Amino acid sequence: MKFNPIVLSIPIFFLLMGVEILIERWSHQKLYRLNDSVANLSCGITQQISGLFLRVLAIGVYVFLYDHFALFTLPVNWIYWVSLFLLADLAYYWAHRMSHEINLFWGGHVVHHQSEEYNLSVALRQSSFQVVWTFAFSLPLAIIGFDPIHFVLVSAYITLYQFWIHTELINKMGWFEYIFNTPSHHRVHHGRNPKYIDKNHAGTLIIWDKMFGTFQEEEERPTYGITKPINSWNAVWANFSHYADMSRDLKRITKWSDKIKYMFKKPGWLPDYLGGYQAAPEVDKSTYKKYDTRSTLSLNLYVSFQYLLCLAGTSIFLFSQKLPDGTDRFTTWENLFMATLIAWVVVNCGVLFENKTWIRISEWLRIFVFPGLLILLAYLYSLSPGYYILAGGYFIVSFTWFTIITRQQHVQIAS
């Protein structure tokens, strides 16, 4: 395809988030925190740039099976489109459900559940590796004979539909609740309360959960997040933290048969000699506190400034992937280079809120490297003098601003 429906929807995502924030301010609700929102959006960014390298799984295998093993040549009519939608939505349900019920797969989905807030930015908090574990669930549609482009469009719709249901601002929706996934249903899915865990896996149609016994009505508002909070704003670590936990557990498990079981049993499973299944604990709302970090206004504004530049640059990069004839604009190595630079920014922007020593060193290095790279590219490709001015202005602003922030942090530590 010459376009990515998800990427094209980015401006709409931010417009709706802006509306939600305005309503939040007007109604005096606390739905957003800057550090949490930056971490959510950063996970979305890393998912999009990693998708540039994993798209062979996301669609390449589907195309191969369709071209070589499709059983039928299906007429494209309304029955075709309704059937494709229902089967794609059903495939999503099972892929999503197994992402919760198989420990190995959970590592590719847990990122989406790590936020302890529930707002539209959480919809964009996606895992970079989920496609590795879930792409196969849709492959039967290729063998049946559903065209890859049609499959991509319908799958994109199922994904886009789920954006609006990540909100606290919409309550019950009457008859609509009986058929479709709604904010109320999906709030349950994001709850860490034991009765809410592994419920409501639907994409678009909630009927699948009702058919297969995983439906749970929203009763009291959930406590959001995962049973073992990540306690970090680092988007890259968010994608690896569960696998790091798995690695530690696998070292403790002595039998190879138990190691295999551990990977494919439900999250929380351990052999009896290590204590057996670790059920999700009840949430004591009187003592429960969300993970949070304190930061100065100057740091908040600095991170926001750097992050807005990163969002703009990433959007331009993603929108520029294809040439007018549909071929790739960038080589794999160029994509990898840009992905590394983007990941550097989003990690720094998140971890700066944690005030770790290593992140200050990383940010100082980045402040020098990024303008230097822009100047080098301007020289190599004989770009206009404006790029030199842009690089110099960015360096002066960032260097001065971060110097002030660093001195403020030293004063706070000393006091």
Q: What is the pLDDT of residue 28?
A: 86
Integer Cα distance of 138 and 396 in angstroms: 50
The answer for residues whose C-beta is within 8 angstroms of residue 29's C-beta and 6 or more apart is 23, 168
Question: pLDDT, tens digit, for every residue of 216-230?
Answer: 999 999 999 999 999
For residues 223 and 362, what is the distance between their CA atoms, to the nearest angstrom? Answer: 34
Q: What values do phi and psi take at 328, rounded to 5?
A: -70, 135
Residue 1 pLDDT > 90, yes or no?
no
**Is 147 within 8 Å of 66 (Cβ atoms)?**
yes
Place of tokens 């990977």: 263
**Contacts with 246 (C-beta within 8 Å, 6 or more apart), sequence order:** 103, 104, 107, 262, 263
What local confidence, expressed as pLDDT, does residue 336 receive? 95
CA nearest neighbour of 21 among 179, 168, 231, 129: 168
| CA distance linking residue 13 with residue 342, whole number of Å | 20
Tell me which residue has tokens 């195309």.
Answer: 63
pLDDT of 5 > 90? The answer is no
In this structure, are residues 84 and 200 in contact, taking their beta carbons and an 8 Å threshold? no
Q: What is the mean pLDDT of residues 104-124?
A: 97
**Long-range Cβ contacts of 136-141 (<8 Å, 24+ apart):** 136/61, 137/91, 137/92, 137/94, 137/95, 137/98, 138/62, 138/88, 138/91, 138/92, 138/95, 139/61, 139/62, 139/65, 140/87, 140/91, 141/62, 141/84, 141/87, 141/88, 141/91
- What pLDDT was estimated at residue 382? 87
pLDDT digits (tens, 9 = 90+) for 32-89: 999 999 999 999 999 999 999 988 788 999 999 999 999 999 999 999 999 999 999 9
C-alpha dihedral, 38 to 41 to 42 to 48, nearest 10°: -170
The whole-angstrom separation of Cα 149 and Cα 41 is: 27
Asked if the model's pLDDT at residue 395 lies above 80, the reply is yes
- Whole-model pTM? 0.92
